[in-house]
Amino acid sequence: MKIPPVLFFLLSIILLAFPVQWLNKLEHAVLAVTKPLVYLHSKTPSITAEAEYDPRIIESLKPKDKIKFLEQRILELNDTITLLKNENTSLINKIKSISDFRTTIPSALNIKEHYDIIVSDVVIKSDASVWRRSIIINKGENDGLKSGLTVVWGKYLVGKISDVGAFTSRIQLITDPAFRAQVLIMPCADTRVSDDVSRMPFGVLAGISFDSAIVKWVSREYKVQNGWEVYSAPDPNALIPKGLIIGKVNNISPDGFFYNLSITPAIDFYNLNDVLILRPKIK
Amino acid sequence: MKKFITIIGIFVIFLEVLLFYKLEIKGVRPDFLFIVIFIATFYYPFENMIFPIWLLGLLKDIISQSGLGTNAVLYLFIALIISLTKQVIFKEDMGIQLVVLFLGAWLCNFCNGAGLVLFYGTPGWGYIIMKSFFIGFYTTLVGGFFLMLLYSFISYIQLRSGQF
């Protein structure tokens, strides 16, 4: 039986018109197939070689077999060392990320009081569409995540959670065209964001589906220059803490009473292996 | 053949998210799924390929952040245009195939980008025209390579079976 193509066109258009919330369940069901990748991604060293090894075995072997056995044993131990080194590097990076995040946030904001920090590994580092920018992590609804939570790496803003499945979640990066956040622009690279930010220029960050973003609606009464740093602004609605580094201004173009700033992000998203998710505590 | 194209397409989608992002140059990477759909539409009757193409487009929408149905309708629309014009144009000419591949990839990506500008206001019309042009160009380069491989393979098979 031949199905007329018009039927598929109509079905696609109907799907496009459907509310996103209704279709999320379907997306999450398909994202569940990434679960095996989560297991593959975990680099826990195998301890089977340790468990199977019995020192008495070596005594019963002939000298020729003994050498072969010991060579095999050295290879196994080398593999274990490599795995442990990888795990150690990964753990050091995670600790550094948490430590950087805690030192960056203004002292007035007590992190323990406001946020639970959830550490997660990146499973898929790219979006299938060249026009969107997202990554997939190995934590989901079962780990207490929900849409809209802020994602950081150390003192850098990475993005926010856009979709949550049972075991995986999608993070919308700051370079995605749909990402919006209030930001402030500061001249000094080394100063921490003070509590008084009222005299700093504000703007709205928007991604442009490339490894850069733009900041719109920056008032021209401030003399912004190339090289100024862009930080997240205090925004109680967006759940984003202030003072997270976003990037540097690399181009300024006037647009009426405002500036449009081109931003180079401070981190390379393709090299991210783990991220921190900030879950606000319910009071 | 339907199942074969569907399996190849699913494999390509997973490779796109796991591996092919490393081929990205300044935010531009080839549209591998479009190459698969192009070859399928060019060499097989469109009527047989409707469901696989729609399914692969939908799967790409699910895996990416695109609106559900966007790529499904775009791929189907461009496949329909290719199937209607392939009787008119000289389809054995590889130059024409590459031109059709470029125009198809450009149009598909331009429509994808246009959707973003209409919904979110970024990244701007000039940017999406340029970016979709370069995606089309990159896709044509990679697609041309695959077409040459395909032709070489077909020639080899014909040579072995004694058709020459």
- What does the pLDDT read at residue A21? 62
CA–CA separation, A226 and A24 (whole Å) = 41
SS (H, E, C) A91-157: HHHHHHHHHHHHHHCCCCCCHHHHEEEEEEEEEECCCCCCCCCEEEECCCHHHCCCCCCEEEECCEE
Q: Between chains, do A209 and B116 touch, taking CB under 8 Å as contact?
A: yes
SS (H, E, C) A46-94: CCHHHHHCCHHHHHCCCHHHHHHHHHHHHHHHHHHHHHHHHHHHHHHHH
- Residues of chain A with Cβ-Cβ distance to B73 below 8 Å are 9, 12-13, 16
Mean pLDDT of chain B: 86
Q: Between chains, do A206 and B112 touch, taking CB under 8 Å as contact?
A: no
Q: Between chains, do B64 and A11 touch, taking CB under 8 Å as contact?
A: no
Q: Between chains, do B131 and A15 touch, taking CB under 8 Å as contact?
A: no
- SS3 at position B83: helix
pLDDT digits (tens, 9 = 90+) for A80-128: 898 899 888 888 888 888 877 777 665 545 566 677 888 888 888 888 8
Q: List Cα–Cα distances, B155 to A104, B159, B162, in angstroms.
A: 63, 6, 10
- What does the pLDDT read at residue A173? 92
- What does the pLDDT read at residue A51? 52
- Residue A54, CB half-sphere, CA atoms under 13 Å: how many? 6
Beta carbons of A158 and A275 less than 8 angstroms apart? yes
Is the pLDDT at A277 greater than 60? The verdict is yes
- What does the pLDDT read at residue B90? 60
Model confidence at A22, pLDDT cuts 50, 70, 90, reads low
Mean pLDDT of A64-85: 87
- What does the pLDDT read at residue A10? 77
- SS3 at position B156: helix
Beta carbons of A275 and A171 less than 8 angstroms apart? yes
Q: Between chains, do A15 and B68 touch, taking CB under 8 Å as contact?
A: yes
- What does the pLDDT read at residue B140? 93
- What does the pLDDT read at residue A196? 59
- Kindly report the nearest CA distance between residue A12 and chain B, in angstroms: 5
Q: Which of B46, B116, B128 to mutate to test the interface with A (most CBs of A within 10 A)?
A: B116
pLDDT digits (tens, 9 = 90+) for B56-110: 988 888 888 777 888 888 998 898 888 888 777 666 678 888 888 899 999 999 9
- Residues of chain B with Cβ-Cβ distance to A129 below 8 Å are 60, 64-66, 71, 112
Which residues, at least 6 apart from A200, have a Cβ–Cβ distance to it below 8 Å?
A184, A185, A186, A222
Is the pLDDT at A41 greater than 70? The verdict is no
- Which residues are paired to A263 by β-bridges? A213, A249
The one-letter amino acid at B152: S
User: What proportion of chain B, given as a percentage, has pLDDT over 70?
Assistant: 96
- What does the pLDDT read at residue A201? 85
Mean pLDDT of chain A: 79
- What does the pLDDT read at residue B142? 92
- What does the pLDDT read at residue B127? 87
- What does the pLDDT read at residue B136? 92
Model confidence at A188, pLDDT cuts 50, 70, 90, reads low
- Residues of chain B with Cβ-Cβ distance to A125 below 8 Å are 21
Model confidence at B35, pLDDT cuts 50, 70, 90, reads very high
Helices (H), chain B: 2-18, 32-43, 46-63, 70-85, 94-120, 125-160
Q: Which of A3, A11, A25, A131 to mutate to test the interface with B (most CBs of B within 10 A)?
A: A131
Is the pLDDT at B164 greater than 60? The verdict is no
Q: Which of A1, A8, A122 to mutate to test the interface with B (most CBs of B within 10 A)?
A: A8
- What does the pLDDT read at residue B62? 81
pLDDT digits (tens, 9 = 90+) for A163-183: 888 888 889 999 998 888 889
**ipTM score of the complex?**
0.85
Q: Between chains, do B17 and A214 touch, taking CB under 8 Å as contact?
A: no
Q: Does A208 touch chain B (CB under 8 A)?
A: yes
Q: Between chains, do A5 and B29 touch, taking CB under 8 Å as contact?
A: no
Q: Does B72 touch chain A (CB under 8 A)?
A: yes
pLDDT digits (tens, 9 = 90+) for B103-137: 999 999 999 888 888 888 878 888 889 999 999 99
Query: CB-CB: which of B17, B51, B59 is closest to A124?
Result: B17
- Kindly report the nearest CA distance between residue A211 and chain B, in angstroms: 7
- Nearest chain A residue (CA) to B50: A5
